[in-house]
Chain A
Amino acid sequence: METLRRIIQSQDQIPLAAVKPIDQGFLKYRAQCLKASQAALRHPAHRRASPVSGAPLSPAGDVEGIPYGCCPDTGGFFMLELPAPERWREVLVETSGLRRSPETLHAELAQSRTDTVYAPKLEWIGETLRLHGMRQPLMLEAVTEPSSFRTLLKESALCSDVIPVDETKLIAQRVPGGPFQAAVLLESLDRVSDPAGLVRGVAAHLEEGGLLFVTALVSSGLDFSILGLNSLYLFPPDRTNCFSLQGLRRLLQRSGFDLVEESTPGALDVQIVREHLQRDPALPRSVFERQLLEMNDEGQAALQAFLQQWGLSSFARIVAKRRKVIA
Chain B
Amino acid sequence: MRCLIFGYGYMGKIRYQVLREHPHVSGIKIVDPALDAAARAGLEGVWLAPTEPIPWDWCDAAFICTPNNVTAELCAEALRRCGRVFCEKPPGRNWEDFCRITDAAAAAPSATLMFGFNHRFHPSIEAAKALIGDGGLGEILYLKGTYGKSGGARYRENWRSNPEIAGGGILLDQGIHMLDLFHLFLGELSVVDAVLADSFWGCGLEDNAFLLLRSERGIPTFLHSSATLWKHTFRIEIGCRDGYLIATGLLSKTGSYGREQLVIGRRQFEDQAQALGNPREEIIHFDRDESWGREVHEFLAAAKQGRPAAHGTLDDARRVMQVIRDVYSLGERRPAAGRR
Contacts and interface: CB of A to CB of B under 8 A. Distances in A.
Given A12-B274, A12-B280, A131 B285 contact: no
A249 to B, nearest CB: 13
Contacts, number: 57
Interface stretch (B34-42, B69-77, B129-137, B202-210): B129-137
A211 B131 CA distance: 18
B290 A2 contact: yes
B131 A6 contact: no
Interface residues of A, number: 18
Contact of B131 (A7, A10, A127): A127
A5 B287 contact: yes
Contacts of B285: 4-7, 309
| Interface residues of A, dominant DSSP | mixed
Given A5-B285, A6-B285, A130 B136 contact: yes
B127 interface: yes
A126 interface: yes
A5 B123 contact: no
A176 interface: no
B130 A133 contact: yes
Contacts of A131: 127, 130-131
B278 A11 contact: yes
A292 interface: no
B280 A10 contact: yes
A9 interface: yes
Interface string A1-35: 01111111111100000000000000000000000
A270 B282 CA distance: 20
Nearest to B131: A130
Contacts of A309: 283, 285
A4 B284 contact: yes
Interface string B270-291: 0001110011111111111010
A3 B281 CA distance: 20
B21 to A, nearest CB: 16
A7 B259 CA distance: 13
A309 B286 CA distance: 11
A7 B288 contact: no
Interface string A125-138: 01100110100000
Interface of A: 2-12, 123, 126-127, 130-131, 133, 309
Which 4 A-B residue pairs are closest in the complex by CB-CB distance?
Answer: A5-B285, A10-B280, A6-B284, A130-B135
